[in-house]
Amino acid sequence: MSKVIVVTSGKGGVGKTTSAASIGAALAQTGQKVCVVDFDVGLRNLDLVMGAERRVVYDFINVAQGDAKLAQALIRDKRVETLYLLAASQTRDKDALTDEGVERVIGELRASFDWVLCDSPAGIERGALLAMRFADEAVVVTNPEVSSVRDSDRIIGLLDAKTRRAEAGERMEKRLLLTRFDAGRSSRGEMLSVADVLDILSIPLLGIVPEDQEILRASNVGAPITINGSTSPAARAYRDAARRLMGETIPMAIPDDRKTLFNRLFSRRAA
Amino acid sequence: MSLFRFLKPRGSAPVARERLQILLSHERAAMGPRDLVALLRDELLATIGRHVQIDPDKLVVKMDRATGYSTLEIDVEIPCDTAAPARPQATAA
């Protein structure tokens, strides 16, 4: 049975695209057929993060408007053969996507994929609402920072009101993916703790992704962090999150930046 | 002057937490798009889930409004093997 998951946040720059690509790649590496869909019309970036920016011929809007077949627009990843991308249009404006068009494309994707990950644009406008509208579940990406938590609260409200599931009176499952978490700063009281954010948003936790330099390197080279068997803390956190989505129970480890005394002395200087 | 600075609690996270809690309680009340029943269900799930593993679909929250009063019905099905939650282990001396 296929599952449609929206990766959303309200606030921009918290890691929606990175998370969608990393979790998508991690799911696909288990042999599941995965399609990651970019809903950010006019500001697409998922193609770039996944290293497929030069292979986009047809996009989501072409398919939604019937100008291209879904099979023509799907871009198959060159490294993981069960991973596909449906790019957003870079040249059209946001109103080019309609409710009916999106519903039809999502329906077609459901028929041929195990997982459909909808990478939502930031904000609470049309694009973000369409990305969540036909989803079965939501992953709410949040940074341990006041503006991100506030916007996530708003998005949770919209998930409970504006999705098809919510309108039908069904439960819309929402899980929190806490990104850019710094265990050290949190333990020193400089950053909201995991418990703080969970307490405020009161949705279950899908994963904790630590701040990790490897994330930037991964986007620099266009390879999701989970793709190359990386053992960096963020890659492990994303793999664990993907397995939790698949229903496995994996203990939640708060990623600890275990530093040697030597490293600690050096990093303090920069702080 | 800064000699005693390290004695004061430095963390700003408690301030962030408190500001958010106040702000969001106002915003949730003012905008009210978030269905109260959905909110209650999420918070109950989070609270119960901390102690007992339950199937999220086995938690039913219903609210009925009548003239003059409202009723809130909460129905939780707990699997028998987890009915008695494990207490945190006392640390062996």
For the cut 70, the answer to whether the pLDDT of residue A269 exceeds it is no
pLDDT in the model for residue B83: 52
- Would B63 be classed as within a structural domain? yes
pLDDT bin (cut points 50, 70, 90) of residue A260 is very low
Give chain B's domain count.
1
| Coil/strand/helix, residue B93 | coil
Which residues 6+ apart lie within 8 Å of B6 measured at CB?
Answer: none
ipTM over 0.90: no
pLDDT in the model for residue A87: 96
CA B80 to chain CA centroid, nearest Å = 24
User: Which amino acid, A17?
Assistant: T
In tens, the pLDDT along A89-115 reads 987 777 888 999 999 999 999 999 999
pLDDT in the model for residue A271: 40
Annotated binding site of A for ATP: 11-18
- Would B12 be classed as within a structural domain? no
Where is B31: in which H helix or E strand? helix B13-31
pLDDT bin (cut points 50, 70, 90) of residue A60 is very high
For the cut 80, the answer to whether the pLDDT of residue A254 exceeds it is no
Structure tokens at B68: 């003059």
pLDDT in the model for residue B50: 85
Question: Which residues are paired to A36 by β-bridges?
Answer: A85, A117
For the cut 60, the answer to whether the pLDDT of residue A84 exceeds it is yes
> For domain A3-267, which CATH number applies: 3.30.230.70, 2.60.40.1080, 3.40.50.300, 3.40.1000.10?
3.40.50.300
Average pLDDT over residues A229-245: 94
User: Between B12, B23, B38, which is nearest A150 by CB?
Assistant: B23
CB contact under 8 Å between B20 and A191, yes or no, is no
Calculate the dihedral angle through the C-alpha atoms of B47, B53, B58, B60, rounding to the nearest 10 degrees.
-10
CB contact under 8 Å between B38 and A203, yes or no, is no
For the cut 50, the answer to whether the pLDDT of residue A36 exceeds it is yes
Interface test with chain A among B12, B15, B17, by most A beta carbons within 10 Å: B17
Distance from CA of B7 to the nearest CA of A (A): 13
Interface test with chain B among A136, A156, A160, by most B beta carbons within 10 Å: A160
Average pLDDT over residues A240-257: 87
pLDDT bin (cut points 50, 70, 90) of residue A1 is confident
In tens, the pLDDT along A148-179 reads 999 999 999 999 889 999 888 788 999 999 99
CB contact under 8 Å between A200 and B49, yes or no, is no
pLDDT in the model for residue B6: 58
Q: Spell out the SS3 assignment of chain A.
A: CCEEEEEECCCCCCCHHHHHHHHHHHHHCCCCCEEEEECCCCCCCHHHHCCCCCCCCCCHHHHHCCCCCHHHHCEECCCCCCEEEECCCCCCCHHHCCHHHHHHHHHHHHHHCCEEEEECCCCCCHHHHHHHHCCCEEEEEECCCHHHHHHHHHHHHHHCCCCHHHHCCCCCEEEEEEEEECHHHHHCCCCCCHHHHHHHHCCCEEEEEECCHHHHHHHHHCCCCCCCCCCCHHHHHHHHHHHHHCCCCCCCCCCCCCCCHHHHHHHHHHC
Task: Give the range of the structural domain holding residue B74, as residue numbers without chain letter.
Answer: 17-79
What's B24's domain CATH number? 3.30.1070.10
> What mean pLDDT value characterizes chain A?
91
CB contact under 8 Å between B38 and A172, yes or no, is yes
CB contact under 8 Å between B46 and A198, yes or no, is yes
DSSP state of B8: S
Domain boundaries, chain A: 3-267
Average pLDDT over residues A11-34: 96
- Would B48 be classed as within a structural domain? yes
pLDDT bin (cut points 50, 70, 90) of residue A26 is very high
- Would B35 be classed as within a structural domain? yes
Residue of chain A whose alpha carbon sits nearest to that of B9: A189
A190 neighbors A144 (Cβ within 8 angstroms): no
User: Between A153, A189, A203, which is nearest B24 by CB?
Assistant: A153
In tens, the pLDDT along A181-199 reads 999 999 999 999 999 999 9
Determine how many CB atoms are found less than 10 A away from the CB of residue B72: 11
For the cut 50, the answer to whether the pLDDT of residue A270 exceeds it is no
Shortest CA distance to A63 belongs to which of A34, A35, A43? A35
What CA–CA distance (Å, rounded) separates A11 from A140?
Answer: 10
pLDDT in the model for residue B92: 47
Average pLDDT over residues A46-66: 94
What CA–CA distance (Å, rounded) separates A10 from A145?
Answer: 13
User: Between B11, B35, B46, which is nearest A204 by CB?
Assistant: B46
User: Between B16, B20, B38, which is nearest A160 by CB?
Assistant: B38
pLDDT in the model for residue A69: 96
For the cut 60, the answer to whether the pLDDT of residue A258 exceeds it is no
Q: Which of A17-26, A84-93, A170-179 has the lowest mean pLDDT?
A: A84-93
Instruction: Flag residues of chain B having pLDDT under 50.
Output: 33, 91-93
Q: Is the model more confident about A256 or about A27?
A: A27
Percent over 70 (pLDDT), chain A:
94
For the cut 90, the answer to whether the pLDDT of residue A64 exceeds it is yes
Residue of chain B whose alpha carbon sits nearest to that of A197: B17
- Would B91 be classed as within a structural domain? no
For the cut 80, the answer to whether the pLDDT of residue A225 exceeds it is yes
Average pLDDT over residues A121-132: 94
Please, what's the b/e burial string for A105-130 (b: 16 or more CB within 10 A of its CB; e: otherwise)? bbeebbeebbbbbbbbbbbbebbbbb
Distance from CA of A146 to the nearest CA of B (A): 6
